[in-house]
């Protein structure tokens, strides 16, 4: 793929932000929008004000892939405060019996979704340390799992009661806390680029092509204009056929590797375009 200039890359990128405790997720979005002077921003997986950690922020055209990123599994580290002391062995046994695998959660009162029972998967829930009533843990969960509710329900089952004292998201999909950036670092990198050095900013900006983890359909250059106008992708548009199933999400990519859009397979030979990326550079490279 040809190297994109920064002006182009900004409008098709995501940033792995290390959100501090305190601001709302939408406040972080606004700070990023002001730094880059873009029209649209959005994030994948809202963090409560008191929760810190990985917040994936998308710029302009990249906001169109947030629905895909929302489905990514999440990992957290936190501290549980028990209202009554409970032995570590009892806590670990209760987690093993009732809080691993598929569980049923009712969203908390202040959530934006209907308060109806729903199933979520808990892939791991490990106790790292216990000092008195303070329990440090690490968990990997399906997207949409409420960790505060998980802790509350654990305390209820233990008969002790419990609440969350601290929570940090350490991973969402392929985005990890070790690769995240503070807002101050992002501003500094942007200012350095404006002074002629784009090295730091290139490390921060993650292109759409590097994020999407679904099957790629490479189409012919001659078909790009028609596809971006909303026509479906047919077998004759594809440079190479791949095995896809009806209903499967796919990305539509130019021969140079630039993403054109997202689509849904209607059959092995026909893909309905779902979201098109307004990428004026795609058809000519």
The Cα 251–Cα 269 span in angstroms is 15
Can you read off the two tokens belonging to residue 191? 């200012």
Helices and strands in the chain: count of H runs, count of E runs = 9, 15
What ranges make up the beta strands (E) of the chain? Answer: 13-19, 41-44, 52-59, 74-82, 101-105, 118-131, 134-141, 162-172, 175-176, 206-207, 215-218, 233-234, 249-253, 259-267, 270-276
* Contact in structure between 105 and 122 (CB atoms under 8 Å): no
Query: Whats the size of the chain, residue-wise?
Result: 285
Dihedrals φ, ψ of 89, to 5°? -60, -35
83: three-class secondary structure by DSSP: coil
- Catalytic pick from 29, 48, 60, 237? 48
The Cα 140–Cα 122 span in angstroms is 6
Radius of gyration (C-alpha) of the chain in whole angstroms: 22
The Cα 263–Cα 52 span in angstroms is 33
The Cα 140–Cα 125 span in angstroms is 7
The Cα 266–Cα 248 span in angstroms is 8
Tokens 């972080």 map to which residue?
28
60 is catalytic: no
Q: Which residues are catalytic?
A: 48
């Amino acid at each position: 793929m040809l190297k994109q200039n920064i002006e182009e890359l900004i409008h098709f990128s995501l940033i792995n932000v290390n959100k501090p405790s305190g601001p709302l997720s939408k406040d972080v979005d606004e700070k990023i929008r002001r730094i880059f002077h873009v029209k649209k921003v959005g994030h994948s997986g809202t963090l409560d004000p008191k929760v810190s950690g990985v917040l994936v922020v998308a710029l302009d055209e990249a906001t169109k892939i947030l629905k895909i990123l929302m489905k990514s599994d999440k990992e957290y580290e936190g501290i549980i405060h028990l209202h009554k002391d409970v032995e570590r062995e009892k806590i670990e046994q209760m987690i093993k019996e009732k809080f691993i695998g598929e569980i049923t959660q009712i969203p908390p009162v202040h959530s934006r979704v209907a308060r109806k029972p729903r199933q979520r998967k808990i892939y791991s829930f490990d106790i790292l340390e216990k000092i008195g009533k303070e329990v440090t843990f690490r968990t990997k969960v399906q997207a949409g799992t409420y960790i505060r509710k998980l802790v509350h329900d654990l305390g209820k089952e233990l008969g002790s009661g419990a609440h969350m004292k601290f929570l940090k998201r350490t991973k969402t999909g392929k985005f990890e806390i070790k690769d995240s950036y503070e807002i101050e670092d992002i501003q500094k990198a942007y200012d350095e680029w404006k002074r002629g050095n784009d090295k730091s900013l290139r490390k921060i900006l993650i292109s759409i092509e590097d994020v999407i983890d679904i099957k790629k359909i490479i189409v012919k250059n001659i078909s790009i204009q028609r596809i971006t106008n909303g026509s479906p992708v047919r077998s004759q548009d594809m440079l190479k056929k791949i095995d896809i199933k009806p209903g499967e999400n796919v990305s539509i990519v130019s021969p140079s590797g630039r993403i054109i859009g997202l689509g849904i397979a209607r059959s092995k030979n026909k893909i309905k375009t779902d979201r098109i990326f307004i990428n004026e550079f795609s058809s000519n490279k």
